[in-house]
Structure 1
Amino acid sequence: MTTPDTTPDPPRPRKGSDILKTALRRNIGAMALGTLLMGLYQAGETAFPIALGMIVEHTMRDDRTLGALGLSIAALAVIITTVSLSWRFGMRVLQKANTTEAHRWRVRVAGCGLQPVARDVDLKSGEVLTIATEDADQTADIIEVVPLLVSSLVAVVVAAVALGLADLRLGLLVMVGTVAILSILSVMSKRIGSSTREQQARVARAGAKVADLISGLRPLHGFGGNHAAFRSYREVSAEAMHQSVTVARVNGVYAGTAQALNAVLAAAVTLTAGWLAFEGRITIGELVMAVGLAQFIMEPLKMFSEMPKYVMIARASAERMALVLAAPPVTDPGTGRPAAGGGLEVDCVRYGSLRELKFTVAPGEFVAIAGYQPRAVADLASILAVNVPPEAYEGVVRVSGQEIADLSVESVREHLLVNPYDGEIFAGTLRSNIDPSGTSGSVPEAVEASMLTDVVALHREGLDYAVRDRGANLSGGQRQRLSLARALAADTDVLVLHNPTTAVDAVTEQLIARNVAKFRRGRTTLVITSSPALLDTADRVLILSDGTITAENTHRNLLAHDEDYCAAVAR
């Protein structure tokens, strides 16, 4: 069984470099072990042509023996075994650390994306999704890049030393050539970094556009705006495609240049060794070693030359992650927790279209608000859902007698649930949508209260019926009832329902109104609605007009004495 990650989050990073430093510091142990093992691998690879050269040198001597030959073969076997095992276990260590680190950053970025009240990030959900997946993975690649860079350097140094022992000019040729190659490629890698950052931003914008299109597809079809929306996406997608082609072209030039430079260096070492052997300055065994090392050195040189590119990509991804992680808090929430079983109080709130809004829902009371202006209703729902920080509006909102500003966001949402009229439906099953945490003890009652029973009975799988992403295989009324069932199953002390029955027929609406009142009896409930059935079920009805409460009475009394109310809610 996998042990959960209990590593505490580091302080909020302000720059991409801070993220990379944190990743490196947090995985220093795994990187040290991985570097050691990969260094052994590269040293073994380097030792192989050296051993071959020594064997050839030995076979050309007059005093050669079978015992010495057997010892040489045994040495080759040890080298091959070392190469195989060190690569296997070294990559296992590094990839595990890489995957774990990527998971940590994904969770942290996702956590920021799910806390809009605590972060002010000028990014759409599609962009945050890309950052939490692709950018987190590419940032964590730094865990592998550094050990591979060091191990490649080990291979180059060992090869240079071995060649230098044969002839100093060969060793100097390798070192000087390596420095020249890296100097050229480091300049090119900067171009890759800037191109990659732009590509990631454009791909993320295209992803955000897709998310917006999917969520608004039905309304777009309704008024014929889908073609214009698709043209808009096509333009964004084309920009992302052109930038991806640019990045691919730059990467291709980089890879081709690196391969060509490595081949030139290998050829130079081979030709120089051949010339030295022809001149009699090195032996045949040393020539074999030099030719073998010239061929072998291309692999670590290739790896060594590719590392700057991956470092630049990791830096670009880390900078994008910092856009989310380093965003300043919108508000500094408190640490208190509301008492159980309390009520709800809105005291002289001014925000948007709300003007000195004041009302109280007593503990256990069922209250309905009939709003005449949709904007005022939306502003009230946003404030109660803590999507607006307390310092952004005048007045106070109290839960169980405590101001929201003094409470932690998590405790407010555990105690006060605001179910929006357009609640999101997730891919999964009916059961997982109703009870995402799997801890609710009132799922059957919530299904019955929301009149979702017909949907459950319609399918052989019942509550385990598969639901597609955004509820694509459900009707509008079924999605709304599923969202209502989820709100009821949460069984919070204070429940706010925002237009929970706009997509259902009148008969079903009447049944839902009675069921919700029965289900929520004894617990504080506020329904923002224009539904006569829900208004009639409420203990009190408050009229929200021009941003304030203008009247308060029962539904039937208001129908009898208030012409404006009668015109607004009568059907």
Structure 2
Amino acid sequence: MQIRDLPYPDPGVADARSGPRFLWWLGRNQLGGQLKSLAWGLLHFCGVAGLPLGVGQAVQAVVDRSGVRLALAGALIVLCGVAFTLGDTMLHRTAVANWITAAARVQQLLARKTAELGSALTRRVAAGEVVAVSTGDVEKIGWFVEGVSRFAAAAVTVVLVCVGLVLYEPELGIVVAVGVPVLALAVLPLLPRATRRADIQREKAGKATELASDTVAGLRVLRGIGGEELFLGRYRQASQEVRTAAVSSARMWSLISAIQVLLPGLLLITVVWYGAGLARDGRVEVGELVTAFSTVTLLMYPLRHFEEIAMAYSFSRPSATRAARVLSLERTAYEGDRGSLDHAALPAGDLYDPATGLLAPAGRFTAVVCGDPDAAGLLAERLGGHAAEEEKSPSVLLDGVALDDLPLDGARTCVLVQDKDPVLLSGTLWELLDVPASGEVSAEEALRAAQCGDVLAALAQASAEDSGDPMRTRITERGRSLSGGQRQRLALARSLVTDPEVLVLDEPTSAVDSHTEARIAQGVSELRAGRTTVVFASSPLLLDHADRVVFVHEGEVAAVGVHRELLHSNAEYRAVVTRETEEEQLVGIDADDELRALEEIEESA
């Protein structure tokens, strides 16, 4: 795989059982690039290791006054220089290619997993952690993957040099052969502690990123309640904890670096002292002493890669563990094999949840009332086939077919879920509404049903074009330039344009006033006529337009009917819808008062 060939047609199925297994899987899938990097690395390091031999031979040739041997030594030095230069250039090229391709593979895997899980992802993993994995963790993982081949080349070179030096000059070679493994392994006892400190640093950095992400997402709300300084103080504290952890980690790595400077220096002193004695006694020649001395000096270069790979693994292992945790998440699968249904034959019929007994008949407007808003959100997600992995409830059925057994794109084609906080991406209004759709509902019809007239007027006024076309006005990221009600209505219009077989809306009008809500209820009811629509709400204005209302209490369907009947017949339903207090329930309120207020709002709307 070359960089020009990215992205991968298929990044593969990752081994996400653990962080080390994920790293091994990445390296195994880049075997070709790793072998290329290893080959160029061997050429580079052998060129470095061959220089001492050429220098030693040249010095000995001068001592012996041999011009032929001096010329041969010079040729060897030139050859080693060419190998050193060419190997270094190509090693850097192939190593960077390995880094980029590994990072690209991880990012593609994360993007695919995000698209597969959708909104269920952030319920299982914090949004800040997902951001940390897709940015900083990808860099650390790529660092280790590209460093493996360079480390392997350095290790092979060190072994070859030690063996060659023992054969070339046994007395000095044995000293070097014994000392070099000590240099390579001396820092091993310190690595577990360094790894733990690196893990702590990464954990605190992830929490700080998560805090920053949450603060930015809620900045508008924080400014409204004057909470910016509070959260800024929390982020300052989190960043200081990251700094402290980073300094602690750096101290350990600086100690490891100091040891790898001190021990080679001691080995060099030993070789010079011992070799000088041998040369004085005539047991080794001057050229051999120079060769041994130069070899030890230049061996420090490949030995630095031992420290680098240890550091890379220590930093990449927690990053790989986090990536593996995200990649191991799966859509809930229940009994039966997943089918491979043709999109032309996707099911269309009643939507039924066996866990609660909720039934949404095909082609009708069903409202669902839950006393617990969190339970309503989870139920809405489950109706769309996005159940959390930890949920053990059976799959929702559409026309008798389990949504969990459908292909992911098929399930999303059949059922669209709009949650309580829909996201508006930056772009023009045309781009916002340019979504996969049936083509039966136009953008104008959807905007009209969602009561976006004032939104269009505001966008037209803010338009930078002379035409003042609101459809060409850019909307900022997450629609932060709009009010909460305006964002909610534009998101509703986008869902209506899609025109799915089943549309599930979770509190779609919680941020609008009652008069606008009444008009939205009527508009959605008329536009979705003949289509299955499920609305989670407790607003009487929406409930009154529903063909049927389902009251879910403590995880089960407790009552089914129309709003006005349930208001009279079911006290628990009335308490949720009218927000009765316990005292009012004991005294009893007149449901007709609620109905009269409802009719007044509808008439004024």
How high is the TM-score relative to the length of structure 1? 0.82
Does residue 422 (structure 1) correspond to residue 421 (structure 2)? The answer is: yes
Query: CA offsets, 1:375-395, max 9 Å, x none?
Result: 564354233233436995878
Does residue 552 (structure 1) correspond to residue 553 (structure 2)? The answer is: no
- The residue number in structure 2 matching 1:144 is 146
Q: Cα gap change, 1:81/1:386 in structure 2, threshold over 3 Å: closer, same or farther?
A: same
Does residue 361 (structure 1) correspond to residue 347 (structure 2)? The answer is: no
- The residue number in structure 1 matching 2:101 is 100
Q: Cα gap change, 1:471/1:81 in structure 2, threshold over 3 Å: closer, same or farther?
A: farther
- The residue number in structure 2 matching 1:353 is none
- The residue number in structure 2 matching 1:41 is 44
Q: Cα gap change, 1:32/1:348 in structure 2, threshold over 3 Å: closer, same or farther?
A: closer
Q: Secondary structure at the match of 2:338?
A: coil
How far 1:367 sits from its partner (Å)?
4.6
Q: Secondary structure at the match of 2:252?
A: helix
Does residue 475 (structure 1) correspond to residue 483 (structure 2)? The answer is: yes
The question of whether the paired residues in 2 share the 8 Å contact of 1:539 and 1:554 is answered with no
Q: Cα gap change, 1:430/1:274 in structure 2, threshold over 3 Å: closer, same or farther?
A: farther
Does residue 501 (structure 1) correspond to residue 503 (structure 2)? The answer is: no
How far 1:257 sits from its partner (Å)?
1.6
- The residue number in structure 1 matching 2:352 is 346
| Residues 39-48 or 123-132, more deviating | 123-132
- The residue number in structure 2 matching 1:214 is 216
Name which of 51, 54, 68 aligns with 2:54: 51
Name which of 2, 17, 20 aligns with 1:17: 20
Does residue 460 (structure 1) correspond to residue 468 (structure 2)? The answer is: no
Q: Secondary structure at the match of 2:533?
A: strand
- The residue number in structure 1 matching 2:291 is 289
Q: Cα gap change, 1:138/1:5 in structure 2, threshold over 3 Å: closer, same or farther?
A: same
Partner Cα distance (1:261, 1:440) in 2: 74
- The residue number in structure 1 matching 2:410 is 411
Query: CA offsets, 1:346-378, max 9 Å, x none?
Result: 36653xxxxx5x443323x44555667645643
The question of whether the paired residues in 1 share the 8 Å contact of 2:348 and 2:414 is answered with no
The question of whether the paired residues in 2 share the 8 Å contact of 1:335 and 1:408 is answered with yes
How far 1:277 sits from its partner (Å)?
3.5
How far 1:539 sits from its partner (Å)?
6.5
How far 1:197 sits from its partner (Å)?
1.7
AA matched with 2:22 = I
> How many pairs align?
560
Counterparts of 1:388-399 in structure 2, within 5 Å, are 388=387, 392=391, 397-399=396-398
How far 1:168 sits from its partner (Å)?
1.9
Partner Cα distance (2:302, 2:599) in 1: 76
AA matched with 1:48 = L
| Residues 520-529 or 181-190, more deviating | 520-529
AA matched with 1:362 = A
Partner Cα distance (1:436, 1:85) in 2: 52
Q: Cα gap change, 1:12/1:485 in structure 2, threshold over 3 Å: closer, same or farther?
A: farther
Partner Cα distance (2:216, 2:281) in 1: 74
Counterparts of 1:199-210 in structure 2, within 5 Å, are 199-210=201-212
Partner Cα distance (2:110, 2:475) in 1: 27
Partner Cα distance (1:17, 1:247) in 2: 21
How far 1:301 sits from its partner (Å)?
1.9
- The residue number in structure 1 matching 2:8 is 5
The question of whether the paired residues in 1 share the 8 Å contact of 2:331 and 2:389 is answered with no
Partner Cα distance (2:192, 2:374) in 1: 49
- The residue number in structure 2 matching 1:303 is 305
The question of whether the paired residues in 1 share the 8 Å contact of 2:45 and 2:157 is answered with yes
Partner Cα distance (1:291, 1:376) in 2: 74
Gaps of 5+ in 1: 351-355
Partner Cα distance (1:312, 1:221) in 2: 40
AA matched with 2:417 = V
Gaps of 5+ in 2: 569-589
Q: Secondary structure at the match of 2:511?
A: coil
How high is the TM-score relative to the length of structure 2? 0.78
Query: CA offsets, 1:274-324, max 9 Å, x none?
Result: 444444433343344334333322211222333223233333333333434
- The residue number in structure 1 matching 2:79 is 78
The question of whether the paired residues in 2 share the 8 Å contact of 1:46 and 1:158 is answered with no
- Report sequence identity in percent: 28
Q: What do you get for the CA RMSD once the two structures are aligned?
A: 4.1
Q: Secondary structure at the match of 2:291?
A: helix
Partner Cα distance (2:547, 2:214) in 1: 38
